[in-house]
Amino acid sequence: MSLDWRPPTLETERLILRPVTEDDATGVFLYASNPNLTRFTLFETHQTIEESFWFVKTYAHSRYASNEPDPLGIVIKSDPVGLIVGALGAHWVSQPNGTMEMGYSIGEPFWGRGYIPEAARALIDYLFANYAVERLQARVFVGNDSSDRVLKKLGFTKEGVLRSVVFRRGAWLDLSMWSLLRFEWQLRATSTV
């Protein structure tokens, strides 16, 4: 852990991706309290603003203290209020083995506008430029077709399905495992120039 390290602020054409603060609890609660959004997330629907505070304070601080860019709040540049409307990030699964895992969510009113692929491209560029990461993985509940589409657009490969790996809401659920390797991202970068 480095005392100098600060989570990055990244900019894309339409978005700012920035570290969260306690002031972002309201923005998080607005999207994370929606059960349509949490239908396929690994986190549960936020029932109270305290759960959103825990995310922007306790969870975020512990990740930032380990130099992990997770979460970065998503702000839409054209929004005059500047509330975060979603978040994405990546953290180490195994640092010795160069494996990080990426996660993302954006509020329901913003689905289908390509915001998460746009944000993820900036995050992935940042990760491969700044970390000794070889493999970036993502786990997606089977049935979350929108998230599958995002990962396909980003060039991830679906490796297979982890069967009955999560017990949630009274059922054993399957997760798809996806990955993107450093050389694959570099090839994509050079092939689109």
Nearer to ligand COA by C-beta: 67 or 158? 158
**Is the separation of the CB atoms in 20 and 87 below 8 Å?**
yes
User: Site for ligand COA (CB under 6 A): how many residues?
Assistant: 19
Nearer to ligand COA by C-beta: 60 or 138? 138
Give yes or no for residue 74 binding ligand COA (CB under 6 A).
no
Site residues (CB under 6 A) for ligand COA, limited to 32-61:
37, 40-41
What is the x/- site pattern for ligand COA, positions 147-186, by CB under 6 A? x-xx------------------------------------
Residues 95, 163, 160, 153, Cα dihedral to 10°: -80
Give yes or no for residue 106 binding ligand COA (CB under 6 A).
yes
Question: Which range in 21-29, 47-55, 60-68, 112-120 contacts ligand COA by CB under 6 A?
Answer: 112-120
Nearer to ligand COA by C-beta: 149 or 163? 149
Chain positions contacting ligand COA, by CB under 6 A: 37, 40-41, 104-106, 111-117, 140, 144, 146-147, 149-150
